Structure 1
Amino acid sequence: MSRIDELLADVEAHLKDGVLQVKEASEKGRPIVGTYCTFAPWELITAAGAIPATLCARGEDPITAAEEHLPRNLCPLIKSSYGYALTDKCPYFHFCDMVIAESTCDGKKKMYELMSRMKPLHLMMLPQTAEGDVARSAWRSELDRLKARLEDAFSVTIDDEAISKRIALRNRERMALNSLWELSRLDPPAITGREQFLISEYCEFHFHKEELVPWLGNLVYQIREAYDQGERRVGKDAPRILITGCPLGGAQKVIHAIEDAGAVVVCYENCGGVKELGFLVDEDRPPMEALTDKYLNVGCSVMTPNTSRMDNLKNLIESYNVDGVVEVVLQACHTYAVETYEVRELVRSTGRPYMSVETDYSKSDIGQLATRIGAFLEML
């Protein structure tokens, strides 16, 4: 077993440690706040003394139960989210004291009405544009409203000093993650896209961030050292692919299809990845003002116009020396589906080929995906 294999085997062995961490924290009386989206401000939640835990929304199994309450022609992410909560098969939902929801789409917004019957739920009303003083003022009001709800729910006072400390810690984690993603800028990349996804997943569900940040820095150092000493995990001629679009948790089959066909995923411009974590909060500004601007500019497809996503996507294509772009759209995700036209235009303007994949969480299209992606890669 190579040095990097040993490092990654250790990561995989501890991938589910987050469940135990949340259980132990809950038993000690620490509040657990469930979240679904990158618009939920991590820094405010932790400044209240709570642990933000990403709730389950990535599996096919609970969808049948969800369809007893929800329409079948709904996005699989929404049905999975609700199904896990309904069947109590998500440990993070089980232990959480509150859910922070967000009005990123009509389907989720209405689903949250049903979910609020199971747990206390706070819905953040997201402006539909990131541009202008009206949108910024509205989003600042939502952050203030969330702050007040957290203070009331957990009997705490959240001051600027507490928020600033959390901003600094989260920024350190973002910088450590950026150093991980930098490994894929190398030619060839130091790790595969699957391996990058694995490490990112581990980091998302590790709730002791003070321990995580130096651990991740050391992991990246050891991988880079092994790479510099000649260890190669990706062929020199492997096409370099950027994946964009909807969250990939339940659609990892797309990553597998790409890499099984001989390419390598070097960058993820999806929810939960570089779209939010790639950008720092300005530590030199008043903390609530800085958080307002940071989270309002997440390049989600619900925003109109979505200039943040398009600008970031163009930069990532160039900086990762991408050979092609694959966009993943979950069935019935209308905003991302409509935005594929603009993304396709942008990608082709850079001289790179583009393909869009519409899928769900089932395994029924794995063969079709392999065929389509294989044909796409042959064009590169």
Structure 2
Amino acid sequence: MELIKDLPEVFEEFAEQRQKSFLAVKELKEKGVPVVGSYCTYFPKEIAMAMGAGCVSLCSTSDETIPEAEKDLPKNLCPLIKSSYGFAKTDKCPFFYFSDVVVGETTCDGKKKMYEYMSEFKDVFIMELPNSQREPGLQLWKGEIIRFKEYLEQKFGVTITEEQIREAVKTENQARRSLKKLYEVMKHDPAPIKGQDLFKVLYGSTFKFDRSLIPGEVDALTAKIEKEYAEGKMEEKKPRILITGCPIGGATEKVIRAVEDNGGIVVTFENCSGAKSIDKMVDEDAEDIYDAIARRYLNIGCSVMTPNPNRLELLGRLIDEYQVDGVVDMILQACHTYNVETNTIRKFVTGEKGIPYISVETDYSQADIGQLNTRLAAFVEML
């Protein structure tokens, strides 16, 4: 499938996907299609997809609604939680407005308590996420996935068959494989595209309701990047940066820009919006499909897990495969789990992998852009 458009145009289309989906979600509702909103990579979207629902990531990456959220929530709370709640409370997020149900999960304490407030004006289904990846945790999580399926069946008066779930698993796995192939183009040195452009596609794809369309679009884009690379079109050789830490998107894209405006190139993202959410597949041939889904999601290496070896495993692999020169750990203010874990990550990156590491703490405002530029310019220069 040949893409006629230029690459920059395609990247912009993905960047605008969120806005385009505002109209798409309204159309879904007009057709009577259920919409399920979520905030987290742990959300097992295959269960909702099996019912034929549209799944969407809800607005949570701008400081626009934070003042409104702070009327109910403490000021010294993570901006992602305040933003999520603010958009919900003010109805400024069309996705939230049109969602029939919002699926929350017991990741961090701030989110858990925020969902209690949110449930006062929206149907919120809370999934009990264990905080460890041991066998008892897996059994609990599998039970929660089945409970979620039963909740959807009861709420929407449908039956979700195992066959439908397996079909949804195949669809989502195909989307993951395509996105994975796309971000693997960054293994080339020099890199074929900017990290900012890669991120536009990864982030934009989370707003696509019809997940079956992703492979076609993304595979065509990957083929075009590879073709142009073979013809000699690429970025200049620059220090190769991996970004890890809290979820990136919206306001926090300033960290990617600060790296790339100051002489570096972001070749891989370990965050939720990057490798973490598409690295592992669900075992399509598993005898027990609920167990397979539970394993795939519970294995995500998030800082809410104790201990959290899977984050280090993925981080180590990405550092090696993408020939990373330095690691930037992006921490949102008042995100305690990721903030406490910076010590572990620093020791792993500098000690075990022997490369430089920096952690930057930020929020959703534009106030610290100068400081970010100064610190990241110095970091890149040192490389």
- TM class by shorter chain equals over 0.9
Shift of 1:181: 0.4
Gaps of 5+ in 2: none
Amino acid at match of 1:47: A
- Identify the range of structure 1 (146-155 vs 3-12) with the bigger mean alpha-carbon deviation: 3-12
CA distance in 2, matches of 1:292, 1:9: 35
CA distance in 2, matches of 1:82, 1:31: 22
User: In 2 relative to 1, CA 81–9 (structure 1 residues): closer, same or farther, beyond 3 Å?
Assistant: closer
1:89 aligns to 2:87 (yes or no): no
Of the three residues 18, 36, 41, the one matched with 2:39 is 36
Shift of 1:183: 1.1
Amino acid at match of 1:294: R
**Normalization by structure 2: what TM-score?**
0.96
CA distance in 2, matches of 1:209, 1:126: 25
CA distance in 2, matches of 1:246, 1:12: 20
Amino acid at match of 1:159: T
Name 2:160's counterpart in structure 1.
158
User: In 2 relative to 1, CA 33–306 (structure 1 residues): closer, same or farther, beyond 3 Å?
Assistant: same
User: In 2 relative to 1, CA 141–68 (structure 1 residues): closer, same or farther, beyond 3 Å?
Assistant: same
CA distance in 2, matches of 1:60, 1:13: 19
Of the three residues 353, 358, 361, the one matched with 1:355 is 358
Q: Is the 8 A contact 2:203 2:273 kept in 1?
A: no
- Identify the range of structure 1 (10-19 vs 28-37) with the bigger mean alpha-carbon deviation: 10-19
SS at match of 1:270: coil
Q: CA RMSD in A?
A: 1.2
Name 2:242's counterpart in structure 1.
242
1:365 aligns to 2:371 (yes or no): no
Name 2:59's counterpart in structure 1.
56
User: In 2 relative to 1, CA 80–12 (structure 1 residues): closer, same or farther, beyond 3 Å?
Assistant: closer
Shift of 1:12: 4.2
CA distance in 1, matches of 2:325, 2:239: 6
Q: How does 1:8-47 map to 2 (within 5 A)?
A: 8-12=11-15, 14-47=17-50
Name 1:344's counterpart in structure 2.
346
Q: Is the 8 A contact 2:104 2:127 kept in 1?
A: yes
Name 1:102's counterpart in structure 2.
105
Runs of 4+ in 1 over 3 A off after TM superposition: 9-15
Amino acid at match of 1:290: A
CA distance in 1, matches of 2:49, 2:196: 30
Of the three residues 135, 143, 148, the one matched with 2:145 is 143
Shift of 1:9: 4.1
Shift of 1:207: 1.2
Amino acid at match of 1:73: N
Q: How does 1:306-325 map to 2 (within 5 A)?
A: 306-325=308-327
Once the two structures are superposed, residues 260-315 of structure 1 have per-residue CA deviations (whole angstroms, 9 ceiling, x without a partner) of: 00100011111132112111111110211100100111111010010111111111
CA distance in 1, matches of 2:137, 2:10: 45
Shift of 1:3: 3.5
Q: Is the 8 A contact 2:202 2:273 kept in 1?
A: no
Q: Is the 8 A contact 1:242 1:265 kept in 2?
A: yes
Amino acid at match of 2:324: V
Once the two structures are superposed, residues 112-149 of structure 1 have per-residue CA deviations (whole angstroms, 9 ceiling, x without a partner) of: 00100111110011111002x21111111111111111
1:204 aligns to 2:212 (yes or no): no
Once the two structures are superposed, residues 75-129 of structure 1 have per-residue CA deviations (whole angstroms, 9 ceiling, x without a partner) of: 0000000000111000100100000000101100000001001111100111110
Shift of 1:211: 2.0
Shift of 1:379: 1.2
Shift of 1:13: 5.2
Of the three residues 163, 166, 169, the one matched with 1:167 is 169
Once the two structures are superposed, residues 1-39 of structure 1 have per-residue CA deviations (whole angstroms, 9 ceiling, x without a partner) of: x94234334444555221121110111100001100011
Q: Is the 8 A contact 2:59 2:95 kept in 1?
A: yes
Name 1:70's counterpart in structure 2.
73
Amino acid at match of 2:268: C
CA distance in 2, matches of 1:48, 1:211: 18
Q: Is the 8 A contact 1:129 1:135 kept in 2?
A: yes
Amino acid at match of 1:267: T
CA distance in 1, matches of 2:342, 2:232: 39
Q: Is the 8 A contact 2:248 2:273 kept in 1?
A: no
Name 2:268's counterpart in structure 1.
267
Identity of aligned residues (%): 47
Name 2:131's counterpart in structure 1.
128
CA distance in 2, matches of 1:143, 1:310: 26
SS at match of 2:32: coil
CA distance in 1, matches of 2:37, 2:290: 21
User: In 2 relative to 1, CA 297–13 (structure 1 residues): closer, same or farther, beyond 3 Å?
Assistant: closer
Once the two structures are superposed, residues 349-371 of structure 1 have per-residue CA deviations (whole angstroms, 9 ceiling, x without a partner) of: 21100000011001111000101
- Identify the range of structure 1 (154-163 vs 207-216) with the bigger mean alpha-carbon deviation: 207-216
CA distance in 2, matches of 1:110, 1:358: 23
SS at match of 2:319: helix
CA distance in 2, matches of 1:210, 1:134: 34
Q: Is the 8 A contact 2:172 2:212 kept in 1?
A: no
1:330 aligns to 2:312 (yes or no): no
Amino acid at match of 1:98: V
SS at match of 1:329: strand
SS at match of 1:247: coil
User: In 2 relative to 1, CA 15–228 (structure 1 residues): closer, same or farther, beyond 3 Å?
Assistant: farther
Q: Is the 8 A contact 1:48 1:154 kept in 2?
A: no
**Normalization by structure 1: what TM-score?**
0.97
Amino acid at match of 1:273: G
SS at match of 2:366: coil
Provide the aligned length of Structure 1 versus Structure 2.
376
